[in-house]
């Protein structure tokens, strides 16, 4: 899958969710309650991103980082640069979720998340907020995959260097 398709999946999910869920919505959840959930998720996600970045920089060791920094990738950057970018971009996505949830709490407050006859602006803002949330969730999955691949790479390099 290309990067642009991956970006459009959470955006599409976020925009379509208010219209798909509305007929089934029977619980009156307030915007602040939903935003509180989003704040908790994003705080956890941001912490995971920062932890992943710290581990990626500190665990491999100076020689391995130098080797990764000198290994070019298809985009013209180094492998280490791509790794740090993936981790920091995931953290930025989590910060975006924090900002959206904070604004939702301030602006939406105790209003219903899915009112029976919503204004178009309400539905549009809900869809945009969910798109940011789903994008942050997608980036958290990318973070987990990246840290897992980093672990596999370090393990493989350690096993091959110890047999030499």
How many CA atoms does the CB half-sphere of 144 hold within 13 Å? 7
Confidence band (pLDDT; 50, 70, 90) for 31? Answer: confident
Query: Is 70 exceeded by the pLDDT of residue 118?
Result: no
> Per-residue pLDDT for 141 more than 70?
yes
The conformational region for residue 56 under phi > 0 = left, psi -120 to 50 = alpha, else beta, is alpha
What would the mean pLDDT of 11-29 be, rounded to a whole number?
67
Which range has the top average pLDDT, 2-6, 40-44, 67-71, 145-149?
40-44
With a cut of 50, say whether residue 35 has pLDDT above it: yes
Higher per-residue confidence, 4 vs 161: 161
Residue 4 has pLDDT above 50, yes or no: no
Complete DSSP assignment for 26-56: -S--BHHHHHHHHHHHHHHHHHHHHHHHHHH
Contact call for residues 152 and 68 (beta carbons, < 8 A): no
Tell me the whole-structure pTM to 2 decimals: 0.76
Query: Which pLDDT score, from 0 to 100, does residue 95 have?
Result: 92
């Amino acid at each position: 899958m290309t990067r642009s398709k991956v970006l459009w999946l959470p955006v599409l999910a976020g925009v379509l969710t208010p219209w798909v869920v509305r007929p089934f919505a029977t619980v009156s959840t307030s915007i602040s309650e939903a935003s509180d959930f989003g704040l908790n998720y994003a705080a956890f996600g941001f912490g995971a991103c920062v932890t992943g970045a710290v581990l990626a920089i500190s665990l491999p060791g100076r020689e391995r980082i130098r080797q990764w920094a000198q290994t070019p990738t298809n985009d013209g950057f180094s492998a280490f640069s791509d790794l740090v970018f993936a981790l920091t971009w995931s953290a930025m996505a989590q910060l975006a979720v924090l900002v959206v949830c904070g604004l939702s709490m301030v602006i939406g407050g105790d209003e219903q998340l899915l009112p029976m006859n919503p204004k178009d602006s309400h539905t549009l803002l809900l869809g945009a907020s969910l798109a940011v949330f789903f994008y942050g969730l997608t980036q958290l999955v990318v973070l987990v995959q990246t840290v897992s691949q980093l672990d596999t790479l370090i393990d493989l390099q350690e096993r091959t260097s110890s047999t030499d």
